[in-house]
Amino acid sequence: MAVATDLQKVVEDAAAHLYVWALKDIPQDLRDALAEAAETETSVPGQRVLQTILRNVQVAEDEKNLVCQDTGIAVYYCRVGEHFPLHPARIYEALYDGTERATVEHPLRSNTVHTLTRENTGQNVGYRVPIVHWDFVQGWDGLDVKCVPKGSGSENMSFLKMCTPADGVAGIKRFVLDSIVGAGGKPCPPGIVGVGIGGSADYAMHLAKEAIARPVGTRNPDPLVAELEDELKDLLNETGIGPMGLGGDVTVLQCHIEHADTHMTLNPVAVNYQCWAARRASAHVSADGVVDYDREA
Amino acid sequence: MAQHRVTFPASEDAIRELRAGDEVLVDGHIIGIRDRTQVRIFDQGVAPPMDLNGAFLLHTAPGVRKVADGKYEKVCIGTTTSARMVRFTEPLGRDYGVRAICGKGGLPDEAIEPMKRLGMVYFAIVGGAAALETTQIEEIEEVYWEELMPECLWKFRVKDFGPLTVAIDSHGTSLYHDVQEQAKKRLEDLYARL
């Protein structure tokens, strides 16, 4: 038990570090995408927004402050090797404790409330919060943890439609376009549009959330899906919504799609938006408790 | 698209000079306000314990640290989505003389007419750019309704606050409205290509 307890502490420390790190230091792939957007944008308000964003990222670094005040709802993505010596029940406890500790120690604004009473439930933790996505890997003894503090401005711009099979791929594209135009400036564009297709209603949204957590501009390994990612990105940037919805050429930095096979009568499509401050930070934890922090995963 | 520097509280004349698309830097005092603060003022009928005449309201729930003498120190102050609070636009101008509302993401079209009639403006700030915004806030001078933390009524002293974009002016123009109209036209073309 001593080993397991120590490993739990290691994962807790990693979670506490990842949460704050993600909030302060955005990954290089995102910085590059924002810089590229600033080179592309031709509208005056759009250019003003993008230059302010780039300045803000630098100020956050210089002042060691948070990029955005919304410390989000803590979402973790765990890939657990089948031989990793700490059970997921204890991994969850470690993520919970790490989130709580980081919130108290920094201090971070606490956002978590009871859904009905709206009373604050603690230090960014509560019933079923943090939220964890699990993936299990055969023949491996490690653990990957990715922390994505998800802001509410973009999370409020989440949409699901049960298209019919007859709506086809065109129906999927149309729903994504309508969703992003309807969202306008509210989700802090230009960001990453996560799209989940297939599976079931709940799983499509789960996949959309997986999609926003990928490194910016990565492509789905399925070439058909990758082609749709490219096409949708270009279509979305033709809508003219622009940075912060003030009009312009750059409405999205990227479109990422995750898919699952589905029932012959289903064609679910889910959209989960990630704002320009697409914060994420990762760590690899070995079976003997060595933590390797990874800025780009 | 002109550039302006405006000190708040501001006069109606100063607000009427601003046109949609203009860039503005703000000095003086701004008031932090959010959903629960405005529910208290308008739904529960509790008058705000500060003068809002000519005021600049910022949609925020700041991250702060409590220090000695009941004062608060800034940690990270940013801006929230405004659209949720659109129904308070008219009474803020009519009953309290508020001149400017600043937030992110814009206000729906129902804000256009009262802003024109009452001489108000909506400033778009860059959502998420809180690190920069925090450096432009010099001091948290007053806090009321601490029990609503962090959705209290905050008084900040600011310098070079911005750059802000005039997104809805007091002459009936809304960039959000115009962008949506244009996007709807473009969507018709895009649908044809799907």
Q: Is the pTM of this model over 0.90?
A: yes
pLDDT of residue B145: 96
**Facing B179 at nearest CB: one of A60, A170, A241:** A241
The rounded percent of chain B whose pLDDT value lies above 90 is 94
Surface of A (255-284) touching B: CB under 8 A: 275-277
User: Is residue B150 reached through a cis peptide bond, with omega within 30 degrees of 0 on the bond before it?
Assistant: yes
Set out the domains of chain B in order of their start, with CATH numbers. Answer: 3-192 (3.20.130.10)
The 3 state secondary structure assigned to chain B is CCEEEEEECCCHHHHHCCCCCCEEEEEEEEEEECHHHHHHHHHCCCCCCCCCCCCEEEECCCEEEECHHHCEEEEECCCCECHHHHHHHHHHHHHHCCCEEEEECCCCHHHHHHHHHHCCEEEECCCCCHHHHHHHEEEEEEEECHHHCCCCEEEEEEEEEEEEEEEECCCCCEHHHHHHHHHHHHHHHHHHCC
What pLDDT is attached to residue A110? 87
Q: Give the number of beta-carbon pairs within 8 Å between A and B.
A: 162
What pLDDT, on a 0 to 100 scale, did the predictor assign at position A4? 55
- Sketch the domain layout of chain A as residue ranges: 2-24+67-151+279-294, 153-274
CATH 3.30.360 applies to domain A2-24+67-151+279-294: yes
What integer pLDDT is reported at residue A119 of this predicted model? 85
Q: Which of B23, B58, B76, B164 is the best residue to mutate to test the A interface, defined by the most A CB atoms within 10 Å of its own CB?
A: B76
Q: Report ipTM (2 d.p.).
A: 0.95
Residues of chain A with pLDDT under 50: 1-2
Check CB contact of B183 with chain A, cutoff 8 Å: yes
The residue of chain B nearest to residue A275, with distances taken between CA atoms, is B128
Averaged in consecutive runs of 10 residues, what is the pLDDT profile of chain B (194 residues)? 96 98 98 96 97 98 89 94 96 98 97 98 97 97 93 97 98 98 97 94
Radius of gyration of chain A (CA): 19
Interface test with A, best of B35, B74, B132 (most A CBs within 10 A): B132
A63 touching B (Cβ < 8 Å): yes
Kindly determine whether residue A246 and residue B179, on different chains, have CB atoms separated by under 8 Å. yes
Cα–Cα distance measured from residue B26 to residue B126, given in angstroms and rounded to the nearest whole number:
14
Q: What is the rounded distance in angstroms from the CA atom of residue B41 to the CA atom of residue B49?
A: 10
Question: A-chain residues within 8 Å CB-CB of B72?
Answer: none
Q: Which of residues 67-86 of A touch B (CB under 8 A)?
A: 67-71
* Residue A1: predicted pLDDT: 43
Nearest to B105 among A45, A109, A186 (CB): A186
